[in-house]
Chain A
């Protein structure tokens, strides 16, 4: 490739809208996903701001109780099914998994494109349901209410059912890709840790999601044909629905967080310029989390009337999740120790992940304990807990990964100053919004109400103000990222001094990923053996 000719890369070669709509290139599919999940995040974010706005004052200001129920349901469903589950695997994972293992593409490119269009199709059902009497059941669709409410449960569940297939196909594709498409010499222990995390995620996706599929089908049957298996009136059992649902939805939490943890492993190693500490421990703790995640779902049902024996077993097993999570956090911190730390924007997100995820994880232990949970169940404490894990964990990792790989994906560098400002706003806004909710919850503020007692007002107002700060951070981020696409400085091939294969190709990469097939000359984190320069800043 000569320098003089306008460089060919996956973005401009081949040309034309058809080459994008029918693309089989994993990078382009990743970009399509990225655009879609950003739209979903925006939609879910608008719902979130509306929720916080209603809760600014006690009493009904913005919306009545029914509308409020619909809005928080949509916030949850959109954020979970449309944004956070596909976020890291389908967008960043799709783009970078083949690059990280030196492959030309994923194992099944056509299935990959199909999974994107299935995602779009499922999302259309979800959006359609918004206009036909949005669901008000909560994203959990608990029976018996979900079989009785007059809102449009079926389009939303059908949407989630279809989105499940998209998730299954992505997971299936990744498993086969990781098994079969690694370049020669890349053994399992030379895989970047993000790949290990995607592998563990993919296992959960293919094992758990089919159960969600059958659950939602049963719910639809229950609603359409009154089959009665979840209806106590007819000899059915509504708690059974919760078992069905949480067998998927607890592991789904790890579909969300595990790839985030993978990104954090990459960020911490790259920006500490140090060999990652405890490679195998981190790799296997990903698999450990994936496995344990299937044994703990009953902790969502401590007050739902499941048997005491089941509650005890589930509570005990829930504590086990703390072990692999702890292993990861300790290994990351040890990697930082005596590292050459560069505080670039992606690293700032990684550090805030460490802080916020630890809070989110530890409060999870409170909720996994039977007696404490009875007090805290269905309060804002739970809301705060899972936002610390989902947003403080996954979204922070996603943003870290986005800022880390942005120059690689688009070949452009964003504005450093504004990216730090946005990061600070997001971090502060997040904590203001959600830390107050821990306090609210422990004082007894129940979740999912549009109204509250006057005594909770100061903290609610505080939380709402936090949501504005958070919103401001995201708006700034959108501005400088879009600006960078057009006016950004050209990024070098390896701006951060990473050792994984994606940095060995052009920014942006060419159509078939590598001009020369890369060779395994060093491991992904061999900073002790290889000298790399950080070229930006």
Chain B
């Protein structure tokens, strides 16, 4: 076996990077909390998520060393994010667009919180363990 060129003595980051990143994360947390008290209309979510993404990027790139490591690890991480995006976006093609062509005719089965009624029916059923068709 050929010995590979060694990058084993892995990158040791200087202390100030860790402390600096930690400090930046603290500041960003403060900022996002403060912004949440301001009404930006629909933009609150966007800003909150943008700040969270910056914080996440800091953690991933520095604490998890993705900035310095082999880029295959970054690829794996981005793959995860990509498939998660597919899951959410494609499902929303459904949930956000229902009833466009043909308005949904069905009414909610029971309007309002019918959960208390349902609880009764459940408990009465669980007493009766024999199989009945329902």
A and B: direct contact (Cβ < 8 Å)? Answer: yes
Contact: B119 with A226, CB < 8 Å? Answer: yes
B133 within 8 A of A: yes
B102 within 8 A of A: yes
A526 within 8 A of B: no
Known: A207-B79, A226-B122, A247-B87. A308 touches B102 (CB 8 A): yes
- CB closest residue in chain B, given A243: B91
Q: Considering the chains assembled together, what is the distance between the CA atoms of A180 and B3 in angstroms?
A: 14
Q: Considering the chains assembled together, what is the distance between the CA atoms of A184 and B91 in angstroms?
A: 44
Q: Considering the chains assembled together, what is the distance between the CA atoms of A300 and B129 in angstroms?
A: 33
Contact: A184 with B1, CB < 8 Å? Answer: yes
Known: A150-B129, A207-B79, A233-B118. A307 touches B97 (CB 8 A): yes
Contact: B99 with A66, CB < 8 Å? Answer: no
A344 within 8 A of B: no
- CB closest residue in chain B, given A183: B1
Tell me the dominant secondary structure on chain A's binding face.
Answer: helix
Contact: B100 with A313, CB < 8 Å? Answer: no
B43 within 8 A of A: no
What is the distance, in angstroms, from A482's C-beta to the closest C-beta of chain B?
40
From 282 to 312 in chain A, residues with beta carbon under 8 angstroms from any chain B beta carbon are 294-295, 297-298, 301, 305-310
A234 within 8 A of B: yes
Q: Considering the chains assembled together, what is the distance between the CA atoms of A150 and B131 in angstroms?
A: 8
B110 contacts which chain A residues (CB < 8 A)? Answer: 233
Known: A228-B115, A308-B101. A313 touches B87 (CB 8 A): no
A240 within 8 A of B: yes
B113 contacts which chain A residues (CB < 8 A)? Answer: 234-235
Q: Considering the chains assembled together, what is the distance between the CA atoms of A167 and B121 in angstroms?
A: 39
* Chain B proximity mask over A51-79: 1 for CB below 8 Å, otherwise 0: 00000000000000110000000000000
What is the distance, in angstroms, from A464's C-beta to the closest C-beta of chain B?
26
Q: Considering the chains assembled together, what is the distance between the CA atoms of A298 and B99 in angstroms?
A: 16
Q: How many A-B residue pairs have CB under 8 A?
A: 75
A211 within 8 A of B: yes
B125 contacts which chain A residues (CB < 8 A)? Answer: 150
- CB closest residue in chain A, given B108: A232
Contact: B122 with A306, CB < 8 Å? Answer: no
Contact: A298 with B115, CB < 8 Å? Answer: no
A378 within 8 A of B: no
What is the distance, in angstroms, from B12's C-beta to the closest C-beta of chain A?
24
A-side interface residues, number (CB < 8 Å): 32
Contact: B100 with A211, CB < 8 Å? Answer: no
Q: Considering the chains assembled together, what is the distance between the CA atoms of A184 and B80 in angstroms?
A: 29
Q: Which residue of the partner chain, among B83, B98, B114, contacts A306 with CB atoms under 8 Å? A: B98
Q: Considering the chains assembled together, what is the distance between the CA atoms of A390 and B94 in angstroms?
A: 28
Contact: A239 with B119, CB < 8 Å? Answer: no
Contact: A309 with B100, CB < 8 Å? Answer: yes
B83 contacts which chain A residues (CB < 8 A)? Answer: 207, 294
B95 contacts which chain A residues (CB < 8 A)? Answer: 237, 240, 307
Contact: B100 with A310, CB < 8 Å? Answer: no
Most chain B CB atoms below 10 A, which of A148, A211, A237, A307: A307
* Chain A proximity mask over B36-74: 1 for CB below 8 Å, otherwise 0: 000000000000000000000000000000000000100
From 205 to 231 in chain A, residues with beta carbon under 8 angstroms from any chain B beta carbon are 207, 211, 226, 228
What is the distance, in angstroms, from A178's C-beta to the closest C-beta of chain B?
12
Contact: A243 with B94, CB < 8 Å? Answer: yes
B11 within 8 A of A: no
Q: Which residue of the partner chain, among B1, B86, B102, B133, contacts A66 with CB atoms under 8 Å? A: B133
Contact: B86 with A232, CB < 8 Å? Answer: no
What is the distance, in angstroms, from B41's C-beta to the closest C-beta of chain A?
26
A66 contacts which chain B residues (CB < 8 A)? Answer: 131, 133
B94 contacts which chain A residues (CB < 8 A)? Answer: 239, 243, 298, 301, 306-307, 309-310
What is the distance, in angstroms, from B84's C-beta to the closest C-beta of chain A?
9
What is the distance, in angstroms, from B122's C-beta to the closest C-beta of chain A?
7
From 310 to 344 in chain A, residues with beta carbon under 8 angstroms from any chain B beta carbon are 310, 313-314
Q: Considering the chains assembled together, what is the distance between the CA atoms of A239 and B98 in angstroms?
A: 11
Known: A226-B122, A240-B91, A295-B90. A307 touches B115 (CB 8 A): no
Q: Considering the chains assembled together, what is the distance between the CA atoms of A307 and B101 in angstroms?
A: 9
Contact: B109 with A295, CB < 8 Å? Answer: no
- CB closest residue in chain B, given A239: B94
Q: Considering the chains assembled together, what is the distance between the CA atoms of A65 and B86 in angstroms?
A: 39
What is the distance, in angstroms, from B97's C-beta to the closest C-beta of chain A?
4
Q: Considering the chains assembled together, what is the distance between the CA atoms of A232 and B113 in angstroms?
A: 10
Contact: B97 with A234, CB < 8 Å? Answer: no
What is the distance, in angstroms, from B51's C-beta to the closest C-beta of chain A?
26
Q: Considering the chains assembled together, what is the distance between the CA atoms of A76 and B83 in angstroms?
A: 27
What is the distance, in angstroms, from A384's C-beta to the closest C-beta of chain B?
28
* Chain A proximity mask over B112-134: 1 for CB below 8 Å, otherwise 0: 01110011001001000101011
- Please list 10 pairs of residues, one from A and one from B, whose beta carbons are closer than 8 Å in the complex, sorted by A's number: A179-B72, A234-B114, A240-B95, A247-B91, A295-B90, A297-B90, A305-B104, A309-B94, A310-B97, A314-B90
The 4 nearest A-B residue pairs measured at CB: A310-B94, A307-B97, A310-B93, A306-B94
Residues of chain B having any CB pair with chain A under 8 Å: 1-2, 72, 79-80, 83, 86-87, 90-91, 93-102, 104, 108-110, 113-115, 118-119, 122, 125, 129, 131, 133-134
Sample of 16 more A-B contacts, CB < 8 Å, known A235-B113, A240-B91, A298-B93: A65-B133, A150-B131, A179-B72, A207-B83, A228-B115, A233-B109, A234-B118, A305-B104, A307-B93, A307-B99, A307-B100, A308-B97, A308-B102, A309-B93, A310-B97, A314-B90
